[in-house]
Structure 1
Amino acid sequence: MRVPAGALSERRKAGLVQEATALVLEAAGLGEADVMRVWVLIHEQAEGTWGSGGKIVRFADLVEMAKKNA
């Protein structure tokens, strides 16, 4: 998963890993005994390294887009 650098607190990262793991286990028909088979990698992208529509998209732009679509 790729997220903007600084977008997630440690608590939110932990929650993301927990939720993604549960979803993969369910989708694969695996149980809790298989939990160590699931690895979640969070890649934090530096500001200014995201682009869309031919332009650089900053974290603040993503926040504004999320507010408009909420």
Structure 2
Amino acid sequence: MPFGVLDDERRPGLVGEATELVLAAAGLGADQALRVWVLIHEQPDGTWGAGGTIMRYTEVAGLATD
């Protein structure tokens, strides 16, 4: 994930959604949520690559809206 995209208010939402998806895929109930660990790795702009080239955050964000 690009550095700085998530703030302290948005991070819990990402972790919650990822946890729910993993639990559902594994057929586990909410009581098993502590079995799911979500690690957020933020990467500085210019350290993402795709298609043999460096992708800047603005380019990645543009792809998400297309």
TM-score interval for Structure 1 and Structure 2 normalised by the shorter chain: 0.7 to 0.9
Shift of 1:34: 1.0
The aligned residue for residue 38 of structure 2 is 40
Please, what TM-score do these two structures have when normalized by structure 1? 0.81
Structure 2 unaligned spans of 5+:
none
What are the superposed Cα offsets for residues 1-60 of structure 1, whole Å, 9 maximum, x if unpaired?
A: xx1111122222111100111111111121122111110111101111111122211111
- Higher share of residues assigned strand: 1
1:27 aligns with 2:25: yes
In structure 2, the residue matched to 1:52 is 50
Q: Which amino acid aligns with 2:58?
A: A
Under a length normalisation based on structure 2, what TM-score does the superposition of the two structures give? 0.85
**Partner SS for 1:48:** coil
Sequence identity of aligned pairs in percent? 55
- 1:18 is aligned to 16
Relative contact order higher in (CA < 8 Å, ≥ 6 apart) = 1
> CA RMSD, aligned part only?
1.3
